[in-house]
Homo-oligomer: A and B are copies of this chain.
């Protein structure tokens, strides 16, 4: 195959899968398959940065034209695929550091085994995530390494930390690793979190404050401009991000500025650009982008990972939303999915989704 016919084929393929990343996205995916032979779809998805269903679609198209094949161990590049790739470039090596898995940070969790056991006692108390409000629990390890990474960035000297929603319970390692005089305040609508925090405060002698707060409502005046740092893992919509970051900016001391830590899964490039625009507009500056940093229990569609961003909040930062918010917020509101489940015993069909008795499959399972 010559270059021109390769590009013609790639164009057709791109038309079939309609990948936002275009032709180069497909070439990248082929190169990922080549670089990591016999990989599972979840690993290919993590490496390429595309959601699993998209990866499956590309893989199927590539298999159809004989550039890769499905083997028992995973996906493999074929001889033809190798030939195509070598026509495009000769260099397909990873320099990702093995020691730190490419993150640049070597967080030996071995050294923090006791802390992990301590924290896990509380994360284990949460029960199932409430997916209606886009809850998806980060692993206990993720909550801990978030805090260690904040320390690496000199961000455990702020003295006051606001957690804008905290079903991940990042507040617990934060209170453990910051100064005992530090103020740690959690704003969340889910009172299960309050109960766990009460318990952690007692058992670990901490002073984490819990404020029961629907983040659609404006931040109470007494908390505005009080914090040096916020941490948030917003609902997975652009509105959710705008709202939670806006709340964060209101909490940050607006003369001194401060920093924000944002966890957010990757979105198609146009959405990512919109997010970058919104953050710039609000006066939040990206200083660190750590892809695949956060791992979640479940959340397989995105390979169970999301990006961890450090934002510098400039002293003249302005929230996009500074009053109560009435709009669409959660994924389920934006793309309502109704699914039918059949009971194994009585064979009755039950509809699950917005507007039904059971909004999530998790709720149905509990009955």
Q: In the complex, A256→B288 CA distance in Å?
A: 27
Q: Which of chain B's residues have a CB closer than 8 A to the CB of A272?
A: 285
Q: Which of chain B's residues have a CB closer than 8 A to the CB of A225?
A: none
Chain A residues 55 to 93 lying within 8 A of chain B, measured CB to CB, are 85-93
Out of B31, B95, B100, B315, name the residue touching A107 (CB < 8 Å): B95
Q: In the complex, A159→B107 CA distance in Å?
A: 38
- Would you call A24 and B256 a contact (CB within 8 A)? yes
> What is the minimal beta-carbon distance from A47 to any residue of chain B, in angstroms?
9
Q: In the complex, A180→B159 CA distance in Å?
A: 56
What mask results when residues 197 to 230 of chain A are scored 1 for a CB within 8 Å of chain B, else 0? Answer: 0000000000000000000000000000000100
> What is the minimal beta-carbon distance from A190 to any residue of chain B, in angstroms?
28
Taken together, the copies of this chain in the complex come to 2
- Would you call A104 and B93 a contact (CB within 8 A)? no
Out of B23, B95, B270, name the residue touching A149 (CB < 8 Å): B95
Chain A residues 121 to 156 lying within 8 A of chain B, measured CB to CB, are 148-149, 151-152, 154, 156
Asked whether any CB of chain B lies closer than 8 Å to the CB of A182, the reply is: yes
- Interface residue stretch chosen among A273-281, A294-302, A323-331, A339-347: A273-281
- Would you call A96 and B88 a contact (CB within 8 A)? no
- Would you call B88 and A159 a contact (CB within 8 A)? yes
The listed residue with most B CB atoms (<10 A of its CB), out of A86, A256, A279, is: A256
- Would you call A22 and B182 a contact (CB within 8 A)? no
What mask results when residues 87 to 113 of chain A are scored 1 for a CB within 8 Å of chain B, else 0? Answer: 111111111111110111111000000
3 shortest interchain CB distances as A-B pairs: A97-B100, A99-B99, A104-B104
| Interface residues in chain A, defined as those with a beta carbon under 8 Å from any beta carbon in chain B | 3, 21-24, 27-28, 31-32, 85-100, 102-107, 148-149, 151-152, 154, 156-159, 177-182, 228, 256-259, 269-270, 272-273, 276-277, 279-281, 283, 285-289, 312, 314-315
